[in-house]
Chain A
Amino acid sequence: MPTLKDLKTRITSVKSTRKITLAMKMVAAAKLRRAQEQAEAARPYAERMDRMLGSLAAAAAGRPGAPAMLAGTGKDDVHLLIVATADRGLCGGFNTSIVRASRAHIRALRDQGKTVKILCVGKKGNDQLRREYRNSIIDVVNDIGKPSLTFADAGDVADKITRMYDAGEFDICTIVYNRFQSAMTQVVTQQQLIPFAPPEAKEGEEAAGADRLYEYEPEESEILDALLPRNISVQVYRALLENAASEQGARMTAMDSATRNAGDMIDSLSIQYNRARQAAITKELIEIISGAEAL
């Protein structure tokens, strides 16, 4: 049986924990709104990029001499996995779910005898993968997008990828991140960046896009050469934005339930405290009364 004083200290400590989680929840909610706005604002560019590249790629894919980024290297021996996580924890299963998906992916590839290289974006992914795959992690990008993610940040990551691809260091590149669905749900997503996989054309849209003959200024191949690396930046940017929004959403949900749990705990501790106090009072009364009766 804990003493009254013990109970009191516990209640105070849980109370201050609740204050912290509540504050974190509110901060996450504010940041989530901003991250969501940013993600939504970036969508038109990515959509139009997809549309433009989709029609270009469809035309160029079959032809010989198509850029390597579109056609691939013709092998699939070396895979580059970009693991995009958060820099900070305390956001529920956000980081763990990405890492778990990455692990499964790596294991599957290794079973097929492929080489896997890992590029970690965000501290937490590196922390969790380091023990198992120390030798596979080729690079770590930390503190990206502070205070807020800009296109240039994503461009730096994309540059790294492009340079490595041009140097022939890998054949296929996949990014793993959390797609934002709502503050409650984030979906772990794997997306292939290189070689470029054209988005599935929607019904009806296809007729408008594919049949149209464009004039190219300058040459088609030159535009494609410029457009493909650009597309990598856009995809990375989009993934990182989605990830940032997901992180805040996950944190908000996690902190919300932490706050609620702390409240429940305070309630039950208070009942325990009151009972103990009442018991002590009763005991004292009994002692006084029985003392008086003895006289």
Chain B
Amino acid sequence: MSEKVEFELVSPERLLVSEAVEMVVVPGAEGDFGVLAGHAATVSSIRPGVLAVFENGNVTSRVFLSGGFAEVTPERCTVLADDAAALEDMNRAEIEKSIADLRDDVNAARDDAEKNAAEKALAIAEAKIAALDSSMY
């Protein structure tokens, strides 16, 4: 397959990736979806999960996203990530520790807003562990 899709991954701080790739699999809010060249125009929000870039049928890089939005057009796939980190850079022990801390935060939260914020952070941390454990790709 010769046609490629222009893939861009941007976080608020900087442009992380901008290259033509064969396929990206984006963790959409309602399920993962793969984007090849010629994909229907879509706007989707992103759940905490792993974005995978494919080249020649193999995964070349895996990036953990904590949330954000994706805009897909037939030529382009733009991912606006809230926060992005390469999967291989993540430290399991650190995340497990932060999960324990966040659990305490959820229990210690004084009002709903605090509780919601802690629960959100907890969900992201748990998704990170799940991403590390998953054998997909």
On chain A, the number of residues with a Cβ less than 8 Å from chain B's Cβ atoms is 28
Residues of chain B within 8 A (CB-CB) of A218 are 29-30, 44-45
Task: Decide if B14 touches A41 in the complex (CB within 8 Å).
Answer: yes
Of A41, A44, A215, A216, chain B has the most CB atoms within 10 Å of the CB of A44
What distance in Å separates the Cβ of A139 from its nearest Cβ neighbour in chain B?
17
Report if A56 contacts B (CB, 8 A).
Answer: yes
Task: Decide if B45 touches A45 in the complex (CB within 8 Å).
Answer: no
Task: Decide if B10 touches A45 in the complex (CB within 8 Å).
Answer: yes
Size band of the B side of the interface? 20 to 34
What distance in Å separates the Cβ of B120 from its nearest Cβ neighbour in chain A?
13
Report if A234 contacts B (CB, 8 A).
Answer: yes
Task: Point out the residue from B8, B13, B15, B42 that lies within 8 Å of A216, measured CB to CB.
Answer: B42
Give Cα distance in the complex from A226 to B33, angstroms: 20
Report if A48 contacts B (CB, 8 A).
Answer: yes
Task: Decide if A222 touches B45 in the complex (CB within 8 Å).
Answer: yes
Task: Decide if B43 touches A52 in the complex (CB within 8 Å).
Answer: yes
Given A215-B40, A215-B42, A237-B12: A48 in contact with B29 (beta carbons within 8 A): no
Task: Point out the residue from A38, A223, A237 that lies within 8 Å of B69, measured CB to CB.
Answer: A223
Task: Point out the residue from A150, A212, A220 that lies within 8 Å of B73, measured CB to CB.
Answer: A212
Which of B13-68 touch A at CB < 8 Å? 13-15, 28-30, 33, 40-45
Further pairs besides A45-B13, A217-B45, A223-B43: 19, Cβ < 8 Å: A41-B15, A42-B12, A44-B8, A45-B10, A45-B15, A48-B8, A48-B10, A48-B80, A51-B71, A52-B43, A56-B43, A212-B73, A215-B43, A216-B42, A217-B33, A217-B43, A223-B44, A223-B45, A226-B69
Given A45-B80, A48-B78, A218-B30: A213 in contact with B12 (beta carbons within 8 A): no
Give Cα distance in the complex from A45 to B20, angstroms: 18
Which of A122-156 touch B at CB < 8 Å? 150-151
Report if B11 contacts A (CB, 8 A).
Answer: yes
What distance in Å separates the Cβ of B46 from its nearest Cβ neighbour in chain A?
10
Report if A101 contacts B (CB, 8 A).
Answer: no
Report if A24 contacts B (CB, 8 A).
Answer: no
Give Cα distance in the complex from A158 to B14, angstroms: 19
Q: Mark B65-102, 1 if CB is under 8 A from A, else 0.
A: 00001010100001010000000000000000000000
What distance in Å separates the Cβ of B36 from its nearest Cβ neighbour in chain A?
15
Report if A227 contacts B (CB, 8 A).
Answer: yes
Give Cα distance in the complex from A218 to B28, angstroms: 9
Of B12, B41, B73, chain A has the most CB atoms within 10 Å of the CB of B12
Q: Mark A234-251, 1 if CB is under 8 A from B, else 0.
A: 100100000000000000
Give Cα distance in the complex from A57 to B84, angstroms: 26
Give Cα distance in the complex from A214 to B15, angstroms: 24
Provide 11 A-B residue pairs closer than 8 Å at the C-beta atoms, listed in order of the A residue.
Answer: A41-B15, A42-B12, A42-B14, A45-B12, A48-B71, A52-B43, A150-B13, A215-B43, A217-B28, A217-B30, A230-B69
Residues of chain A within 8 A (CB-CB) of B71 are 48, 51-52, 214
What distance in Å separates the Cβ of B113 from its nearest Cβ neighbour in chain A?
8
Given A48-B8, A234-B12: A227 in contact with B69 (beta carbons within 8 A): yes
